[in-house]
Amino acid sequence: MQLGYVAKRCGVFLLIIWLAATLNFFLPKLSGQDPVREKLLQQAQLGGYVQAGIEAMAKEYEQRFGLDKPLWSQYLAYLHEMSRLRFNYSISHYPRTVSEIMAEAIPWTVVLLGTTTVLSFTIGTLLGALLAWPGAPRSLRFLMPPLWALHAIPFFLCGLILIYLLAFQLQWLPMFGGYTAGAFPALSLAFVGDVLTHAILPALSIILVATGGWALTMRGMMVTTQGEDYVTFAEAKGLKSRTVFLRYCVRNAILPQTTALALALGQILSGAVLVEVIFAYPGIGTVLFHAIRENDHFLIQGIVFSVIVALGVATLLLDVLYPWLDPRITYRRA
Amino acid sequence: MPEQDRLGRLSRRAFIQAGLLGAGVAALLPVSVPVAKPRDVPRNRTLTLVWTGREGRWIDHELWNPYAIGSNHQSGPGIFYEPLAYYSAFADKEYLWLAESYAYSPDFKELIITTRSGITWSDGVPFSAEDVAYTLNSLRDLGPKVRWGVDVQQFMQEARVTDPHTVVVTFKMPAPRFFYFMTYKYDIGVYIVPQHIFQDQDWTTFKHFDLEKDWPVTTSPWKVVFASPEQKIIDRRDTWWAAKARLASMPKVERNIWLPSAGEQQLAQALITNQVDYSMSIQPATMPTVFRQNPKITTHSGQKPPYGYMDWWPYSLYVNNEKPPFNDKDIRWALSSFIDRQQIVDVSWAGAAEPSPLPLPAYPALLPYINAVKDILAKYNTLEFNPKKGEAMFSAKGWKKDSAGIWVDPQGLRLSLDIISPGALGSAVGPVISEQLKRQGVDATFSLPPDFDIRFQKGQYTGALYGHGGSVNDPYHTLRLYQGASVAVPGAHLVNFAKWKNEAYDQIVDEVFATDMRDQARLLELFRKAMEIWIPELPDIPLTYNYHRIPMNTTYWKNWPTAENPYVNGAFWHLTYAMVLWNLQPTQ
């Protein structure tokens, strides 16, 4: 029975991937733009001068990218390449391939967003649970208005404020970049420290904003859970307040948060686009932003396809793992 | 249940441990590590600059072959490929470099270039005439596949080596500007490549980057020591043929760091805190803030407007001359009368600009040409703001204003003008000019379409804001921007963004093409004849000069190119940046 459930989920997973990949192929084409010609024109017009022979050059490169073939042929080639996780050349980074570019940028984003997502989830969930708990210190309640206010502003705006205060005025932290300008990467503690120092401001701008969201949803779930019979029963049994809080309330209230966390982790690959852009942080968000601006079909397709797969895998894992996390959920039909 | 608890605790612990381990490993993954740690260079011998990049990262850090598609000489490769000659428009001076001399045949169908002796590539192989001939012949053969290929293919028959220091270039037609075309100035010039490195490579994909092999191979005093999406680091080599030959002094800059821009706000802050010495242009409104907080920042014009120098790219309001009613010169003149250029200067550029009467910059070598047509400009004032004159022109043609105050032609069609533009120019000027035109009864709109380049090039526009990448030392390159057809240059790629056609004008420009660049008297005569047609016709509507407002930090470096010391224009993204590098002096 369990095997059938997993097989069915895997089937749905593959269907979703195919549908999303198909949309991913056709949507950028709908813009009607010609990315190769635009790229060449940009290059040809460097400094305002217009170079000769752009038409001939564009034809040459359209052939090289396979863009001279009929759309159905491009689509089949695309599906074939995607199924082997092989991506084309990037139009805007030519002659670099999409895979090379992604391999370079993804680790930066995974480190930044993985850490910030887990941290903001942990802090936010804990704060949310405490805020709904009658036994929590009253002083905690003062945290809620600023957390909600921060949650209402975009990451990048928070980032700009932090840059001004902590990097420009106080000069405590670096303004931008993945590491100090002029520093040579090395497998040393000093360099790792430098990388981490540069990640503090972008990370902080995400954590400050995201924590409020996690706290808000957790608080709502806690309020609902506290009204459940099993909590009243636990209190009536005379269990310690800490036990009721952690084992009876938090444990039950955290399930929707776990789902959201899995989806948030799945979305990591799309990056925190504007945060990465304003901090010149070399992650996948800046790559995606650039790819969209330059209408680089192949790079957009590569990144979006990776996000789709990551989200699909996260959802599949959740589907499979949920019954283990919550015994009330079963593989069997009701 | 206890078993599940235990499993749960183990999972959490394992998760946290795995997470921490993963984070630690991942923190080290993103960075590319150099093959060997380069030497330490103190800050006061380091020149840190910020250039555009793309969204805060370099996308071409592995591309040091400027002919590869995707490569861009503006992002560093420019200084590695020394030219046959440099030209400084500000000094109006040619500096012969890899070439010792050159001479054309009387009919300009042959060019003899003599290269200097004593020059070696960085791998020890001597530089020779073979490298020049190989570069030119390859460009001819590659044609549209690489930058400058079509330009060379169009003119050149063959480049032949007659001895180790002599190249004879033969042309299909007279080509009196071919050496000038190859000369480095602004963004134009042919990059001479090492034959022994490039000969077995596909120029379109060859990166010419390998730190272990000390690539890119160069005759310049520069060496790439590190390149990643975050930064490009270029160090000075120990020796340089040009210093030995006393053509230039050995650069005092020992390290040049190129950073991609994270945005103007961050850039301004980095200039204020002395993290950056030199940067791309910033908005005039930002300049006073930067000066106030860091008095060591200066520009070409010091700390006074226009906070920079006049670029070679005066811009205009283009109207598509093929589309009615803009195919009528009187309508173009009427629009010109509706535009208050001083207001554009004041509002769009915070007072830091000047109106341009013609589509060419007022550079020393071009001033005689501009002065030669002053009387025509007095009769046809291209800068005149006179709405009444414009209204009279419309009325004389039977146009009337409708109830909304918009001009309507005798057939009842409203006067609409959709203006498109690229980037910074459009953001600054677009809203102002469209509002000015609206107030005069033109249904003007403004947008920044992402496919501007294609639409503009193909003539799929009604109105556009754009500049003129034309002349800096003789009038031909600006004049040819308006040619509708050319007999002198068969198969020429014609720019003609305005889509204006005039056969008499075309013939004059063909005559200019065939005229020796040094024959100023004849060129003046032809330029005047061309302007006698161009100015009354007004194919596009001149607005203001363009400026490069480049901040230069005097904390660590002095002898920047400025109005008092104009040895070259200060754009480090131009092919003449090497001249700035060998002129800079440390302050400490």
Would the CB atoms of B257 and A176 count as touching at under 8 Å?
Answer: no
A143-199: pLDDT as tens digits? 888 888 888 888 888 988 998 899 888 888 988 888 888 888 888 888 888 988 998
Q: How far is B392 from chain A (nearest CA, A)?
A: 36
The whole-angstrom separation of Cα A21 and Cα A308 is: 8
Residues contacting B286, CB < 8 A, separation 6+ = B264, B268
Is cis: bond before B306, omega within 30 of 0? yes
Rg (CA), chain B: 27
Question: Which amino acid type is present at position B442?
Answer: V
Beta strands in B250-339, from DSSP E residues, in sequence order: 255-260, 278-279, 297-298, 309-310, 315-319
Would the CB atoms of A94 and B56 count as touching at under 8 Å?
Answer: no
pLDDT tier at A254, thresholds 50, 70, 90: confident
Would the CB atoms of B262 and A168 count as touching at under 8 Å?
Answer: no
Q: How far is B161 from chain A (nearest CA, A)?
A: 27
Q: How many residues does chain B have?
A: 588
Question: Which amino acid type is present at position A87?
Answer: F
First to last CA, chain A: 13
Q: What average pLDDT does the segment A135-142 reach? A: 82
Does the pLDDT at position A304 exceed 70?
yes
Q: How far is B118 from chain A (nearest CA, A)?
A: 33
Return the higher-pLDDT residue of B101 and A283. Answer: B101
Would the CB atoms of A192 and B266 count as touching at under 8 Å?
Answer: no
Q: Which of A57-61, A151-155, A297-301, B447-451 has the lowest mean pLDDT?
A: A57-61
Partner residue facing B68 (CB), from A38, A95, A195: A95
B299-339: pLDDT as tens digits? 999 999 999 999 989 999 999 999 999 999 999 999 999 99
Q: How far is B494 from chain A (nearest CA, A)?
A: 8
B13-24: pLDDT as tens digits? 554 455 545 555
pLDDT at B543: 97
B553-568: pLDDT as tens digits? 999 999 999 999 999 9
Across-strand partners of B447?
Answer: B420
Q: How far is B89 from chain A (nearest CA, A)?
A: 15
Name the 3-class secondary structure at A132: helix
Partner residue facing B454 (CB), from A41, A167, A191: A41
A-chain residue closest to B62, CA distance? A96
B14-57: pLDDT as tens digits? 544 555 455 555 555 555 555 567 889 999 999 999 998 766 78
Partner residue facing A176 (CB), from B56, B73, B188: B56
* Chain A contact set for B29 (CB, 8 A): 107, 111
pLDDT tier at B5, thresholds 50, 70, 90: very low
Partner residue facing A181 (CB), from B48, B63, B573: B48
Would the CB atoms of B56 and A51 count as touching at under 8 Å?
Answer: no
Partner residue facing A184 (CB), from B150, B226, B259: B226
Partner residue facing B57 (CB), from A43, A171, A286: A286
pLDDT at A47: 54
Q: How far is B47 from chain A (nearest CA, A)?
A: 10
**Is the backbone of residue B56 left (phi > 0), alpha (psi -120 to 50) or beta?**
left
A-chain residue closest to B470, CA distance? A49
pLDDT at B490: 65
pLDDT tier at A309, thresholds 50, 70, 90: confident
Beta strands in B242-390, from DSSP E residues, in sequence order: 255-260, 278-279, 297-298, 309-310, 315-319
Would the CB atoms of A192 and B468 count as touching at under 8 Å?
Answer: no
Would the CB atoms of B229 and A105 count as touching at under 8 Å?
Answer: yes
Instruction: Give chain B's mean pLDDT.
Output: 91
* Chain B contact set for A40 (CB, 8 A): 69
A-chain residue closest to B202, CA distance? A95
Helices (H), chain A: 2-30, 35-44, 54-65, 71-83, 98-132, 144-151, 155-162, 189-226, 229-236, 241-243, 251-266, 273-278, 284-293, 297-325
pLDDT at B71: 85
Q: What average pLDDT does the segment A253-275 reach? A: 78
Instruction: Kindly state the tokens that stand for B233.
Output: 């680091």
pLDDT tier at B4, thresholds 50, 70, 90: very low
B419-464: pLDDT as tens digits? 999 877 888 999 999 999 999 999 999 999 878 888 888 889 999 9
Q: Which of A249-263, B11-25, B72-86 has the lowest mean pLDDT?
A: B11-25
Would the CB atoms of B28 and A41 count as touching at under 8 Å?
Answer: no
Read out DSSP for A199-267?
Answer: HHHHHHHHHHHHHHHHHHHHHHHHHHHHTSHHHHHHHHTT--HHHIIIIIIIHHHHHHHHHHHHHHHHG
Q: What average pLDDT does the segment B143-147 reach? A: 84
* Chain A contact set for B467 (CB, 8 A): 48
* Chain B contact set for A44 (CB, 8 A): 147
Q: What burial class does residue B510 get, using C-beta atoms within 10 Å of its C-beta: 0-12 exposed, 13-18 middle, 19+ buried?
A: buried
- In this structure, the dihedral spanned by the alpha carbons of residues A293, A296, A302 and A305, taken in order and rounded to 10 degrees, is 60
Q: How many residues does chain A have?
A: 334
Q: Which of the residue ranges A270-274, B190-194, B487-491 has the most confident prediction, judged by mean pLDDT?
A: B190-194
Q: What angle do CA B462, B468, B470 make, to 5 degrees?
A: 145
A-chain residue closest to B70, CA distance? A94
Residue-wise burial string across B440-475, b where 16 or more C-beta atoms lie within 10 A, e elsewhere: bbbbbbbeebebbbbebbebebbbbbbbbbbbbbbb
Partner residue facing B144 (CB), from A60, A178, A290: A60
First to last CA, chain B: 73
Rounded to an integer, what is the distance from CA B445 to the centroid of its chain? Answer: 28
Does the pLDDT at position A258 exceed 60?
yes
Instruction: State the pTM of this model.
Output: 0.82
Would the CB atoms of A181 and B272 count as touching at under 8 Å?
Answer: no
Is residue A313 within 8 A of residue A321, CB to CB? The reply is no
Partner residue facing B150 (CB), from A53, A192, A279: A53
Partner residue facing B27 (CB), from A33, A163, A196: A196
Q: How far is A286 from chain B (nearest CA, A)?
A: 6
Would the CB atoms of A41 and B32 count as touching at under 8 Å?
Answer: no
Instruction: Give chain A's mean pLDDT.
Output: 83
B109-137: pLDDT as tens digits? 999 999 999 999 999 999 999 999 999 99
Q: How many interchain CB pairs under 8 A, A with B?
A: 223
Would the CB atoms of B26 and A107 count as touching at under 8 Å?
Answer: yes
In this prediction the ipTM stands at 0.71
Q: What angle do CA B78, A284, A164 make, to 5 degrees?
A: 80
Read out DSSP for A1-12?
Answer: -HHHHHHHHHHH
Mutate to test the interface with B, among A64, A112, A169, A175 (most CBs of B within 10 A): A175
Would the CB atoms of A290 and B54 count as touching at under 8 Å?
Answer: yes
